[in-house]
């Protein structure tokens, strides 16, 4: 247990030891009830942390993978390392399918490893690049906050300063993204600017990243919030209790389709039906430039059905897991869905806001 990180003004979900031999992460499976730091010493530890979701959220998965590549370099043989480096990077790249930041980070790191024949220099080059990626993601999120703020300010003005009610799904906060978060960055910015906001937090079954993680983050920042069931959003929207939806994404196409935690699509449909703006906040590292049809082409992770069958909670000082459906009922655990571009009001990126369409995305990112 190490609370130093948790008590910092800008805590981070991942950091490295000074000697560059291990990576430390908050074990997010246990939050908010237990704050445990896991030490990752080799690629198997990194892959386990990604697969079993000690770390999760697209930008953090990318940052963890970048550190994983550094550990590959640390454990590579002195001589003829090239095949080892490539094979281990391929194993890491395959650890979770949907968040594109994983592949992005590995593909960005590998050339730095291959370019350097000397082992010590290769390790140093890897850590330098991983550090660059980590700082880049933190800065991207800060800028997303800056660009998202005017959207909330505008609603606040229209409401004569009355509370702006935002709704978010899953966790796209600092735990998922190094600092600020993506969906939460405009919320922090609005709160710091003195705008009265309140956030509806979808619990986000099956792993409850909303109820466990987003609620914890917002509470620590002093932002008013209410945890709701995943099915409550439509009702709230029909009754004028939601002014704007902001979600994150794990992979979005240049054509504007958005993969995000399962249930996001239903929120977007309800928002459209009720004329409520539905924004997706993302760093450009979460765009997949190779796919055109998100619904057909984005791989959707299917996870262990036991995540559905059992629910985890806190009782009498410890975390417990209990069975919900009949013991022999099968469960299907689709972890993500894709919201088609036509339901997305816009993307909030580190370079500004654009419509969810290729031409406008390319206007912001002509160099990519």
The neighbour count for residue 340, using CB atoms within 10 Å, is 17
The neighbour count for residue 24, using CB atoms within 10 Å, is 17
Residue with tokens 């299907």: 332
For the CB of residue 144, give the shortest distance to ligand MRU in the complex, in Å.
Answer: 11
For the CB of residue 52, give the shortest distance to ligand MRU in the complex, in Å.
Answer: 11
| Choice between 57 and 294, CB closer to ligand MRU | 57
| Choice between 43 and 100, CB closer to ligand MRU | 100
For the CB of residue 161, give the shortest distance to ligand MRU in the complex, in Å.
Answer: 29
| Nearest Cα to Cα of residue 167 among 238, 256, 252 | 238
Contacts of 277 by beta carbon, 8 Å cutoff, 6+ apart: 151, 243, 244, 245, 271, 345, 346
| Choice between 56 and 205, CB closer to ligand MRU | 56
110 vs 85: CA distance, rounded Å: 8
Q: From residue 285, how far is each of 58, 133, 137, 140, 291 by CA, in Å?
A: 9, 10, 8, 9, 14
| Choice between 73 and 185, CB closer to ligand MRU | 185
Q: Identify the helix (H) or strand (E) that includes residue 146.
A: helix 119-158
The rounded radius of gyration (Å) of the Cα atoms in the chain is 20
Assess contact for 218 and 152: CB atoms under 8 A.
no
- Cis status, amide bond into 206, omega within 30 of 0: yes
Q: Identify the helix (H) or strand (E) that includes residue 45.
A: helix 43-51
| Choice between 56 and 112, CB closer to ligand MRU | 56
| Choice between 85 and 144, CB closer to ligand MRU | 144
| Nearest Cα to Cα of residue 110 among 139, 136, 81 | 81
The neighbour count for residue 294, using CB atoms within 10 Å, is 23
| Choice between 176 and 343, CB closer to ligand MRU | 176
For the CB of residue 247, give the shortest distance to ligand MRU in the complex, in Å.
Answer: 6
Contacts of 139 by beta carbon, 8 Å cutoff, 6+ apart: 350
User: Which token pair is 167?
Assistant: 């709704």
Identify how many contiguous H helices and E strands the chain contains and give both numbers.
15, 16
User: Which token pair is 128?
Assistant: 């330098």
For the CB of residue 251, give the shortest distance to ligand MRU in the complex, in Å.
Answer: 9
8 vs 34: CA distance, rounded Å: 17
DSSP β-bridge partners for residue 302: 334
User: Which token pair is 100?
Assistant: 């594109």
- Catalytic residues, by residue number, are 250
For the CB of residue 250, give the shortest distance to ligand MRU in the complex, in Å.
Answer: 5
Assess contact for 3 and 11: CB atoms under 8 A.
no
For the CB of residue 137, give the shortest distance to ligand MRU in the complex, in Å.
Answer: 10
| Choice between 45 and 250, CB closer to ligand MRU | 250
For the CB of residue 298, give the shortest distance to ligand MRU in the complex, in Å.
Answer: 12
The binding site for ligand MRU (CB under 6 A) comprises: 56-58, 170-172, 176-177, 182, 209, 247-250, 260-261, 335
């Amino acid at each position: 247990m190490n609370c130093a990180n948790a008590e910092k003004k800008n805590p981070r979900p991942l950091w490295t030891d000074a000697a560059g031999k291990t990576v430390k992460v908050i074990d997010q499976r246990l939050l908010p009830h237990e704050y445990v730091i896991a030490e990752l010493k080799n690629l198997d530890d990194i892959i386990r942390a990604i697969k079993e979701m000690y770390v999760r959220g697209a930008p953090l998965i990318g940052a963890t993978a970048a550190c994983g590549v550094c550990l590959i370099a640390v454990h590579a043989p002195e001589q003829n390392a090239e095949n080892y480096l490539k094979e281990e990077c391929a194993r890491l790249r395959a650890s979770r399918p949907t968040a594109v930041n994983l592949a992005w980070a590995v593909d960005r790191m590998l050339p730095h490893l291959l370019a350097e024949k000397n082992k010590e220099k290769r390790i140093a080059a890897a850590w330098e690049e991983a550090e660059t990626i980590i700082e880049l993601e933190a800065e991207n999120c800060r800028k997303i906050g800056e660009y998202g703020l005017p959207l909330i300010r505008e609603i606040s003005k229209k409401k004569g300063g009355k509370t702006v009610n935002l709704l978010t799904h899953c966790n796209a906060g600092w735990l998922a993204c190094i600092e600020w978060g993506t969906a939460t960055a405009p919320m922090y910015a609005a709160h710091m600017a003195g705008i009265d906001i309140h956030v509806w937090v979808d619990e986000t079954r099956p792993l409850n990243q909303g109820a466990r993680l987003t609620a914890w983050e917002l509470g620590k920042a002093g932002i008013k919030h209410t945890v709701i069931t995943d099915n409550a959003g439509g009702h709230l929207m029909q009754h004028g209790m939601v002014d704007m939806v902001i979600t994150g994404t794990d992979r979005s196409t240049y054509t504007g389709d958005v993969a995000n935690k399962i249930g996001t699509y239903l929120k977007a449909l309800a928002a459209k039906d009720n004329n409520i703006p539905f924004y997706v906040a993302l760093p450009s590292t979460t765009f997949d430039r190779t796919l055109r049809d998100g619904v057909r082409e984005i791989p959707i992770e299917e996870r262990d059905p036991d995540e559905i069958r059992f629910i985890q909670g806190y009782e009498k000082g410890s975390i417990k897991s209990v069975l919900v459906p009949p013991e022999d009922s099968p469960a299907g655990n689709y972890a993500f869905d894709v919201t088609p571009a036509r339901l997305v009001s816009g993307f909030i990126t580190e370079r500004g806001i654009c419509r969810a369409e290729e031409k406008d995305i390319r206007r912001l990112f002509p160099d990519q």
